Amino acid sequence: MVYVNSSVSNHRQLYVEIKKTKPRKYYQYEAINYKELHKSMEKAGIQESNDDFTRLEKLIQKCMEESKVIKTKIMNEPQK
């Protein structure tokens, strides 16, 4: 930004140089919605006494897959 004094009058002119910027970068990622995960685990009705670990593991994986959502994030430019 530059101020230029005019020799003819007492007015000043302002010159501003604007640089072109690159568009912001977006990226998508998977995240787990923990409220939905909690609801789906409650619906599953786990019986602690007679479930074995392999069935429990499959149930947890299934509920996690159902509660995943895709989110978009904007990458900010590094500050100088």
Both structure tokens of 75: 């990458």
Per-domain boundaries in the chain? 22-80
Residue 57: the pLDDT is 87
pTM: 0.56
**In this structure, what is the dihedral angle of CA atoms 35, 41, 45, 48, given to the nearest 10 degrees?**
-120
Q: 31-69 as b/e, with b when 16 or more CB fall inside 10 Å?
A: eeeeeebeebeeeeeeeeeeeeeeeeeebeeebeeebee
Which is higher by pLDDT, 46 or 61? Answer: 61
In the predicted structure, residue 59 carries a pLDDT above the cut 60: yes
What residue ranges in the chain does DSSP mark as E strands? 2-5, 12-15, 25-32, 68-75
What is the per-residue pLDDT across 1-50, written as a single tens digit (0 to 9) for each?
666 676 666 677 777 777 877 777 899 999 999 999 999 988 887 766 55
SS3 state at 62: helix
